[in-house]
Each structure stands twice: as C-alpha cells, then as structure tokens.
Structure 1
Amino acid sequence: MDLSHLGTPTGPLLRVHGGFANRTYRLDTDRGSFAVKELKLVDGRPTYEVEEVFRFERAAFAAGVPMPEPISADHRMVVHRWVDGEKVPEAPVSRAYAFEIGEILARLHALDVPWTPGPLAVDPTPRDWPELAERAVATGQPWADELAAAVETLLAIAQFVAGCERPGPMVLTHRDIQPWNLLAREGRPVLLDWELSGMLDLSGELGSTALSLSKGPGFDDVRPAVFRAVLDGYAAAGGTLPPWGPSWFVYLIGGWLGFTRWNVLRCLAGVEASTGPDLALSHESVRNGVRGLPDMFGRLAELETMLG
C-alpha cells in the first residue's frame, strides 16, 4: 500500500481486528493518525462504488455530519482521519442517542449529491441454499447440520425479499448504520464505515437502522421506545416517514441473507483470503446467520405489530 501522501510514519502500520468485511489498519504519521481500510475484492474486482461514496462522504463531512474526515479513496484502499471514541455495544442504545441518529439520517437524505454509479454486478437474491448445504455436509463444516436444517426457511426468506413491495422514495444514504459501525464520543454518535452507501428505499433504511439500535444480539429484547426515538429524530429534523409495513425490514433481512451466503462460500473455500475477514470470523458470521435469520423471519409479524 502506498501511503506516502499521509506523511512520514512515526510507528508501524497496525492491524485493527474485528471488521466483518474489510481489513483496517491504524497509521500514525507526522501529519496525524489515520484509519487505512483495505477493501475486499471479488475476483480482482471492486465491490463498492468507491468514487461515488467518497464524494458523498465529503459532502456529508462538509455538512457537519459526525464522522471521520475522508482523506483519500481508490478501488483498493480508503483512508480517513482516525477518530477516538467508545465502541457501541450490540445492545439497545439510549433514546437520546437514537434520536440523534434519526436527525443525522434526515440531514443525509436532504443533501444534494449527484449519484451516478457504474454498472457493478448486483447478485440476485440467493436461492442455492440446498446446494450449499450439501457442500457444507460433504466438507464437514462445523455448522453444516444447522445450515441443512434452515434451508427451507432461507428459501422462504429469499422469496420474501424478492417479492416484497418497496413503497419509496429512494434516498442516497449510509445503508449500514449498525452498532459496530458507530462510535460514541462524549455520548454522541460518530458514523463509520460508509462503503455500502448508495440509493435505498427509505423504509428499508429507517427500519434497518431503528431495529438494529433498539435490540441486543437476538430479538428477545427489542425496545420499541428506542426504535420510535430514531423515527422521532428523523421527523424532528424535517424528514417524512414512509408508510408502515414489511418493507421496513426487508433490506435488513435481505442484506443479512446475502452476507451469510458470502461467508458460507469463504468457509467452503477453506483458505485464508488476502482480503476480507479472517476465516474464523467468517465461520462465526455463518453461525450467526443460520441461527438468527430464521429467528428474525419468524418474528416479522410480531415486529410489525410491536413497532408499528
């Protein structure tokens, strides 16, 4: 990695562990501290709209959105100024924190930023779960039996994702506001990891964000007051809420389905790839998916009733 534009290093490039998709490092130089993220590649091709995302980030930063300053970006590496803060646990956040996240989303959606992405390939909703389960059993994967037991549910989820109507409007947004992509600095949010930014149905963005911030690792303790606080903050900052319905959860469950399949394929390959998460983390992500996806899918009607 050519990092000469960041100044003269005052220490080694240090790996920061824990990323679910990319690999991140910290570099200290005579010009400050930087977060250097090595982007995952698929068959040598980029998986993010790097130039478009970088322009969106620059506009958000200039508008005062709390986030690390974007420094540079190309198809292999993005660099931000390092920001210190407390990690946000996977647990319900405070109502004040959730309210501010809603306000931030409204500000993001009001930005006038052009978005002209190139023709990156978009994978269809995955439906090859029976074949993947067979391969997992044949290769002795530690989660093979769980995957095999979940195949019918995963196919039903794929059908739900493909057939769910999105009411709109489409907005340019972060698309991945989860606890692990946030910091708390003096109790207030800092948004990290913008690589997935792009156009998204508004209900999917609001539902994914509000649900992720209002629960713990599972779905047994969802706090409706925290969920509502995100929406209240959005409305207070001038945002208009879309119609309530299943579309609020389709983006979250569909993204989780695709992410689980991506990690299944990494585990089936059985080798440490040069980019992306470590193999052990991929195994953990698969286990979380084959256990959590059926649980969430089975609770969709309950979530609509409780949170709507």
Structure 2
Amino acid sequence: MVNLSRLGAPIGPMVRVHGGFANRMYRLDTDQGSFAVKELNVVDRRWTYNVEDVFRLERAAFAAGIPMPEPISAGHHTLVHRWVEGEKVPEAPVPAAYAFEIGEILARVHALDVAWTHVPIEEPASRDWPELAARAAATGQPWAGELASHVETFLAIAHFVDTCERPGPVVLTHRDIQPWNLLAREGRPVVLDWELSGMLDLSGELGSTALSIAKGPGFDDIKPAVFRSVLDGYAAGGGALPPPGPSWFVFMIGGWLGHTRWNILRCLAGVEPGTGPDLALSHESVRNGLRGLPDLFGRLPELEALLV
C-alpha cells in the first residue's frame, strides 16, 4: 500500500471489503471522512491499467455530475475514492426507471470531451482450450469434466469474438457497468469501478450494459422492458443508437471468455495469489463461465430479438 497519511488521521484499522473479481478493496475511516482504497492486482493483470487517462476521465465525469464516487488519487498500485454509501444492486432485473437512468448516464459519459492517449490493441481470442482442459484433468480440478465437454463451444465462441463485425462508432466509456459495479442510493444509480474505462464500440457497451441489468444470474429471466429502458434512456440523453446485430453482445461474450480463462489459469497454478481475487472466488468464476458462456452464446438469436 502507498502512504495514505494525507487522507487524515485514521479512527480505526483499514478493513478489507471482500468480493472483488480483480483487485482488493479496503475501507479507511479517518478524521477527514471515509475512503475506498483499492489495491490493484499487479501480479497477473489481464489488461494495461491506463492510470492517467482513467483518472482524467473519472475527474471529468465527476465534475459533470455523473453519480459516482469522488476520485481522490490514482497510482499504479493503489486507487483512492471517497466512500459512497448505498445499497448493493443484486444480479436481478433492475426497475425500469433505474435502467432508464443508466442509459442517460451512458449518453452523458459519451458526450464528455476527454483526451485519451492510449490506443487499444485488440488481441485475438485464445485458442488453447484443449490444452487447458487437459491440464485441468491432470491436476484434478473440480470442474475439469465440464471444461472438457465444452471445448468445441469455447473454440466457436473465440472464433465469433474475432470475426464479428463492429459497426461503430467507437466511444470513450466505462466498459464494465454490471450489477456488482453499481449501487442504488435512494433508488438511483451510482457507478463504481472505472478501471476498465477506455474506447469501445458503442453497440458493445450498450448491449453489455442493458443485458447485465435486465437479467438474473442466468439467462432465463431476461426482462425485455428493462433492456429497452436502457436504450430509451440513452436516446433521451441525446445518444444515437447503432444498428441492431450480434455486435451488441460480442464485447460481453469476449470479456467473459477472457475472464474465465484468466481464472482457469489462476486455479491451475494451485496457490493462493497475493493479490487479486481469492482462489475460491476464481473457482466460482470458472464454474460460472463454464455454465453461463455456452448458454449465452446459444441464445444470440433470442438476444438480438431484444433489439427490434
């Protein structure tokens, strides 16, 4: 951890807040207020964290009145925000009014005039699923059989991710609005965890966001009205909707594919990492990916119907 003395005199020990899927979070209470201190995973990070660019976007978004924690400082190892009280958003369809406001927030974020110096490099989706399945079986992973049964599906998903056309436009955006990155304060959204911010095809951002807050843990409880509320809010906020198509869901599928593979590698290592999510949470993420991704991929035609 970096020196946090400038945040004030602590009035109690810093407390770990469990549940992060990538990093580790702590709450620090001082005589100057309460702060969320995030220790970034620097051991096996899946992406380059663009400290200066993300912090500049966060400050601009906060200044523009986007409902979010106030950004205090950002470094290569630690992020500090002012603590925000609110209710956790469950993985279940949110109220339509909440979804509408999320759409409006996205339109406002996309309208910000913020310099972004990082040029993203798209890496092709990994094709090493047969090798991962063999390693999982050899090391006795509890989900090895499930992985082996889905190898061909995961190869097909990787092909889809690499070949799906993105119609544009590309926007600077949050990229990770999911229930676990949201709070509800007096029934209204607060957007957390901006580390993945960057440039993204608009359809991928809208599709990922709308689907994630319109469904439960699986895909049997998708509320089309909630999905549409995000799009209606985006249009009401001045945003123009891109044409319908599979590109609306390719970013969500590709991100989940990479997240599942990353957690598989953490589990195969067989040791509790010193940073990032707990090993037990990695096993849970692997099981969720092995069950959820084939289901999501198989439902693409049904999901595209939400756009019409």
**Residue 137 of structure 1 aligns with which residue?**
137
* 2:243 is equivalent to residue 234 of structure 1: no
After superposition, give the CA deviation of every residue in 1:103-146 in whole Å (9 maximum; x if it has no partner): 00000000000000278x76431111000000000000000000
* 2:293 is equivalent to residue 285 of structure 1: no
**Residue 244 of structure 1 aligns with which residue?**
244
C-alpha distance in structure 1 between counterparts of 2:246 and 2:272, whole Å = 38
Give the TM-score normalised by the residue count of structure 1: 0.97
In structure 2, relative to structure 1, the CA distance for the partners of 1:169 and 1:306 (3 Å cut) is closer
Specify every segment of 5 or more residues in structure 2 that has no aligned partner in the other structure, as ranges.
none
**Post-superposition offset of 1:200:** 0.2
In structure 2, relative to structure 1, the CA distance for the partners of 1:40 and 1:122 (3 Å cut) is farther
8 Å CA contact 2:13, 2:28 repeated in 1: yes
**Post-superposition offset of 1:252:** 0.2
Specify every segment of 5 or more residues in structure 1 that has no aligned partner in the other structure, as ranges.
none
**Residue 214 of structure 2 aligns with which residue?**
214
8 Å CA contact 1:46, 1:76 repeated in 2: no
C-alpha distance in structure 2 between counterparts of 1:43 and 1:89, whole Å = 28
8 Å CA contact 2:244, 2:307 repeated in 1: no
After superposition, give the CA deviation of every residue in 1:143-194 in whole Å (9 maximum; x if it has no partner): 0000011110000000000000000000000000000000000000000000
* 2:89 is equivalent to residue 85 of structure 1: no
C-alpha distance in structure 2 between counterparts of 1:221 and 1:46, whole Å = 31
C-alpha distance in structure 2 between counterparts of 1:46 and 1:179, whole Å = 21
8 Å CA contact 2:66, 2:105 repeated in 1: yes
C-alpha distance in structure 2 between counterparts of 1:134 and 1:46, whole Å = 26
8 Å CA contact 1:46, 1:75 repeated in 2: no
**Residue 104 of structure 1 aligns with which residue?**
105
* 2:219 is equivalent to residue 223 of structure 1: no
Which range moves more in the overlay, 96-105 or 45-54?
45-54
In structure 2, relative to structure 1, the CA distance for the partners of 1:233 and 1:248 (3 Å cut) is same
**Post-superposition offset of 1:37:** 0.3
Structure 2 matches for 1:155-194, cutoff 5 A?
A: 155-194=155-194
C-alpha distance in structure 1 between counterparts of 2:102 and 2:47, whole Å = 29
RMSD over equivalenced CA pairs, Å: 1.4
**Post-superposition offset of 1:43:** 5.4
C-alpha distance in structure 2 between counterparts of 1:10 and 1:46, whole Å = 35
After superposition, give the CA deviation of every residue in 1:57-78 in whole Å (9 maximum; x if it has no partner): 0000000000000000001010
What stretches of structure 1 move > 3 A for 4+ residues in a row?
42-47
**Post-superposition offset of 1:51:** 1.3
**Residue 256 of structure 2 aligns with which residue?**
256
C-alpha distance in structure 2 between counterparts of 1:44 and 1:209, whole Å = 23
Letter in 1 for 2:180: W
C-alpha distance in structure 2 between counterparts of 1:118 and 1:303, whole Å = 30
C-alpha distance in structure 2 between counterparts of 1:255 and 1:126, whole Å = 12
| SS at structure 2 position matched to 1:196 | coil
Count of equivalent residues: 307
| SS at structure 2 position matched to 1:41 | coil
8 Å CA contact 2:43, 2:275 repeated in 1: no
Letter in 1 for 2:281: L
C-alpha distance in structure 2 between counterparts of 1:300 and 1:46, whole Å = 27
**Post-superposition offset of 1:259:** 0.3
In structure 2, relative to structure 1, the CA distance for the partners of 1:226 and 1:51 (3 Å cut) is same
**Post-superposition offset of 1:303:** 1.1
**Residue 24 of structure 2 aligns with which residue?**
23
After superposition, give the CA deviation of every residue in 1:181-221 in whole Å (9 maximum; x if it has no partner): 00000000000000000000000000000000100000011
8 Å CA contact 2:46, 2:262 repeated in 1: no
**Residue 62 of structure 1 aligns with which residue?**
63
8 Å CA contact 2:136, 2:144 repeated in 1: yes
**Post-superposition offset of 1:4:** 1.2
**Post-superposition offset of 1:46:** 7.3
C-alpha distance in structure 1 between counterparts of 2:44 and 2:285, whole Å = 21
In structure 2, relative to structure 1, the CA distance for the partners of 1:45 and 1:159 (3 Å cut) is closer
In structure 2, relative to structure 1, the CA distance for the partners of 1:62 and 1:125 (3 Å cut) is same
In structure 2, relative to structure 1, the CA distance for the partners of 1:301 and 1:90 (3 Å cut) is same
C-alpha distance in structure 1 between counterparts of 2:45 and 2:234, whole Å = 39
Letter in 2 for 1:38: E
